[in-house]
């Protein structure tokens, strides 16, 4: 049967594509437990040495603290902006709505290196570069569209009569928002917060340009990689991966499962 | 408009105006500024533009970046298509959902760490060459070559391209495909005359994303491609970080933006163009 051979070939190709995509991820986790400074075949012995050294490194600890502050603040700002915009889009019609939505949705289509240069130049011109909050400002711009998209999808599922019913029963617009819209959106809000935090936690180009002396974890990785072959990168990478995946799985649990069902 | 509405509408206008449009607009203005004694001065001079546009190395970088990003887009499209086809038509919906979930995972692993991983895997004494050496081949030089750059670009873009292509293919009306088969169309002919045209919009948008990401990436061409010649993003970094020549870096950035606009406009026009019945 030629059909079966074709299917076999296609599935084999699919498998190869997955191998290509996951090879570097799996390899970095394996290398992080490998004793050789420069991993090759056959592998060296099992060690947790690289994890010990990064936990002992004060600079990496400082960077981890910076990263946590940046990604948490970013997620709060981006999710707030995303919610306000998604709600406006859901409820109101007005002139220039197209350009209004473009304003929040366009940043991901601009290459990060260009955003990095533009942010650096502008923030230093207004005297706001080189601070931790410079990164927070930049990351909020970059991640707000993702929060907006998730929240807009959720608002798409609400019955518009619910809010109207609350108004008719005498509640103010604020009260209706708090008692009807926000509870309905809660899973999406948590999901958007996790997702924006995860994106911010991984971003290095813009953070590298505007951070000055306040380095985040990805910026430290960039600097280590520039220097030499250092397996500590694999250990840091594996921990970052673990953190991001936890956030994504949380986002998934709170949102994607429910949207699928609703 | 009441206060309630304003509270929700204004924040994003103010925020993106200050921190998205502001920076981009300022960057364009800055490309006309001058640098004297390592300090930027407000001016309106064409000197940076004249300098950058007449330098051979800038145009070498320009065409090299365009060529590499274009090659990566072509390779990613061709490599992803059979995989997306398999996911769209040859597996159950359950498997497809899991596969797409797996394809999202790479976005949350550090791209830097994945590139570093490839560096170790592809090196002259790395995993691949060590493996090939035991059966008597190699070693092959894979780092600091265009091959290395493309491997890096694909690491960044391939998962997204597979996802977008899968969605495009899965949305095709199966009745049309079945009709072509029933009317005696061979499988290859069905693929070319029915499946690809129906999925055209999604396939082109996937390629466009691949191009934008590759065109703007500095990690792959720097660490895996050896930066010879530097791509435009590397040129921006070098000009900004080492020479304090921000205005000249801004010229390169504006060149990149204009190029991307032109390519995106063409791609979108191609993607949504109605086919004239022939």
Q: Where are the domains of chain A?
A: 51-261
- The CATH architecture to which A51-261 belongs is Orthogonal Bundle (1.10)
| Closest in A31, A111, A237 to B216, CB measured | A111
Q: Are B151 and B118 in contact (CB under 8 A)?
A: yes
Minimal C-alpha gap between A143 and chain B (Å): 12
Q: Which residues pair with B41 in a beta bridge?
A: B34
Closest residue on chain B to A107 (Cα)? B20
**Which residues of chain A does B65 touch, with a Cβ-Cβ cutoff of 8 Å?**
none
Contact B257 A23 (CB under 8 A): no
pLDDT of B278 reads 45
pLDDT tens for each residue of A198-255: 899 989 999 999 988 899 999 999 988 887 778 888 899 888 888 888 877 887 777 6
Predicted-complex ipTM score: 0.91
Higher-confidence residue: A240 or A75? Answer: A75
**Domain presence at residue B23:** no
Domain-embedded: residue B91: yes
Mind telling me how many Å the CA of B210 is from chain A's nearest CA? 11
Residue B74 domain flag? yes
pLDDT in tens, B64-112: 999 999 999 999 999 999 999 999 999 999 999 999 989 988 888 889 9
Residues of B (59-98) whose Cβ lies below 8 Å from A: 79-80, 82-83, 85-87, 90-91
Other beta carbons within 10 angstroms of residue B25's beta carbon come to 13
Distance CA B215, CA B72 (A): 9
* Mean of pLDDT values over B17-38: 92
Q: Select from A22, A141, A222 the Cβ nearest to the Cβ of B112.
A: A222
Contacting B residues, span 113-132, partner chain A, CB-CB under 8 Å: 113-121, 123, 125-127, 130-131
Yes or no, beta carbons of A10 and B90 under 8 Å apart: yes
Chain B residues whose beta carbon lies within 8 Å of the beta carbon of residue A221: 110, 112-113, 116
Residue B138 in this model has a pLDDT that exceeds 90: no
Q: What is the CATH number of the domain that holds B174?
A: 1.10.3720.10
Q: Is the pLDDT of residue A262 over 50?
A: no
CA A190 to each of CA A85, A156, A206, B11, B209: distance values in angstroms, whole numbers, following the listed order: 17, 17, 25, 20, 28
CB A105 within 8 A of CB B14: no
pLDDT at residue A4, rounded to an integer: 86
Nearest to A202 among B21, B110, B127 (CB): B110
The reported pLDDT for the residue numbered A255 is: 67
Confidence of residue A258 (pLDDT cuts 50, 70, 90): low
Phi, psi dihedral angles at A41 (to 5 degrees)? -100, 135
Asked if residue B109 is part of any domain, the answer here is yes
Which of A122, A151, A172, A218 is the best residue to mutate to test the B interface, defined by the most B CB atoms within 10 Å of its own CB?
Answer: A122
Query: Quick one: pLDDT at residue A257?
Result: 57
Residue A256: which pLDDT band, with cuts at 50, 70 and 90?
low
| A259 vs B23 pLDDT, higher one | B23
- Which of B202 and B273 is assigned the larger pLDDT? B202
pLDDT at A16: 97
Distance (Å, rounded) from C-alpha A79 to C-alpha A134?
18
* A111–B212 CB contact, under 8 Å: yes
Total domains in chain B come to: 1
User: pLDDT class for A259, splitting at 50, 70, 90?
Assistant: low
pLDDT at A21 over 60: yes
| In the predicted structure, residue A175 carries a pLDDT above the cut 50 | yes
Whether the predicted pLDDT of B247 surpasses 90: yes
Size of interface A-B (CB pairs under 8 A): 227
Compute how many other C-beta atoms are within 10 angstroms of the C-beta atom of residue B183.
8
| β partners of residue A46 | A34
Yes or no, beta carbons of B113 and A234 under 8 Å apart: yes
Instruction: Give chain B's mean pLDDT.
Output: 91
Mean pLDDT lowest among A74-88, A246-260, B115-129, B170-184: A246-260
Identify which of A173, A234, A170, A197 has the alpha carbon closest to the alpha carbon of residue A28: A234
Please state, rounded to an integer, the average pLDDT across all residues of chain A: 89
The whole-number pLDDT of residue A153 equals 92
**What is the model's pLDDT at position B129?**
86
Confidence band (pLDDT; 50, 70, 90) for B275?
low
pLDDT of residue B276: 55
Average pLDDT (A130-159) is 94
| B203 within some domain | yes
Q: With an 8 Å Cβ cutoff, are A18 and B102 in contact?
A: yes
Average pLDDT, integer, range A183-191: 91
Residue-number span of the structural domain to which B176 is assigned: 52-272
């Amino acid at each position: 049967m030629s059909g079966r051979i074709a299917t076999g070939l296609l599935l084999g190709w699919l498998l190869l594509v997955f191998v290509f995509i996951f090879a570097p991820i799996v390899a970095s986790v394996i290398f992080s437990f490998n004793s050789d400074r420069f991993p090759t075949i056959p592998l060296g012995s099992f060690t947790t040495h690289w994890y010990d050294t990064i936990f002992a490194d004060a600079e990496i600890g400082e960077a981890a603290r910076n990263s946590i502050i940046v990604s948490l603040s970013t997620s709060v700002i981006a999710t707030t902006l995303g919610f306000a915009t998604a709600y406006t889009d859901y409820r109101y019609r007005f002139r220039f709505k197209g350009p209004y939505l473009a304003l929040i949705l366009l940043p991901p289509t601009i290459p990060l290196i260009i955003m990095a240069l533009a942010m650096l130049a502008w923030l230093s011109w207004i005297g706001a570069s080189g601070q931790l909050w410079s990164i927070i400002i930049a990351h909020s711009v970059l991640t707000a569209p993702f929060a907006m998209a998730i929240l807009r999808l959720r608002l798409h599922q609400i019955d518009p009569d619910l809010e109207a019913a609350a108004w008719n029963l005498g509640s103010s617009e604020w009260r209706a928002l708090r008692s009807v819209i926000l509870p309905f959106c809660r899973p999406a809000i948590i999901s958007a917060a996790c997702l924006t935090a995860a994106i911010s936690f991984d971003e290095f180009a813009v953070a590298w340009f505007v951070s000055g002396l306040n380095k985040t974890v990805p910026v430290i990785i960039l600097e280590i990689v520039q220097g030499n072959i250092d397996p500590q990168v694999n250990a840091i990478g594996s921990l970052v991966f673990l953190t991001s995946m936890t956030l994504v799985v949380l986002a998934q649990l709170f949102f994607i499962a429910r949207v699928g069902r609703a | 408009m009441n206060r309630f509405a304003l509270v929700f509408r204004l924040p994003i206008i103010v925020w993106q105006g200050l921190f998205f449009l502001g920076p981009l607009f300022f960057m364009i203005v800055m490309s006309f500024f001058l640098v004297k004694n390592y300090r930027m001065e407000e001016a309106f001079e064409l000197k940076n533009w004249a300098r950058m546009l007449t330098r051979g190395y800038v145009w070498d970088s320009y065409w090299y970046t365009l060529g590499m990003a274009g090659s990566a887009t072509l390779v990613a499209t061709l490599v992803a298509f059979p995989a997306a086809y398999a996911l769209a038509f040859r597996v159950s919906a359950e498997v497809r959902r899991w596969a797409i979930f797996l394809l999202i995972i790479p976005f949350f692993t550090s791209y830097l760490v994945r590139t570093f991983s490839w560096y170790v895997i592809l090196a002259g004494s790395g995993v691949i060459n060590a493996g090939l050496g035991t059966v008597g081949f190699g070693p092959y030089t894979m780092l600091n070559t265009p091959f290395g750059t493309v491997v890096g670009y694909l690491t960044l873009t391939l998962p997204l391209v597979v996802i977008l292509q899968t969605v495009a293919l899965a949305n095709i009306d199966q009745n049309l495909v079945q009709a072509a088969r029933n009317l005696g169309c061979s499988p290859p002919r069905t693929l070319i005359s029915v499946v690809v045209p129906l999925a055209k919009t999604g396939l082109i948008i996937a390629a466009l994303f691949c191009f934008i990401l590759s065109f703007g990436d500095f990690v792959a061409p720097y660490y895996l491609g050896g930066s010879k010649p530097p791509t435009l993003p590397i040129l921006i970094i070098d000009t900004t970080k080492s020479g304090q020549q921000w205005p000249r870096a801004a010229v390169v950035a504006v060149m990149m933006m204009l190029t991307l606009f032109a390519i995106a406009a063409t791609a979108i026009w191609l993607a949504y163009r109605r086919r004239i019945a022939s």
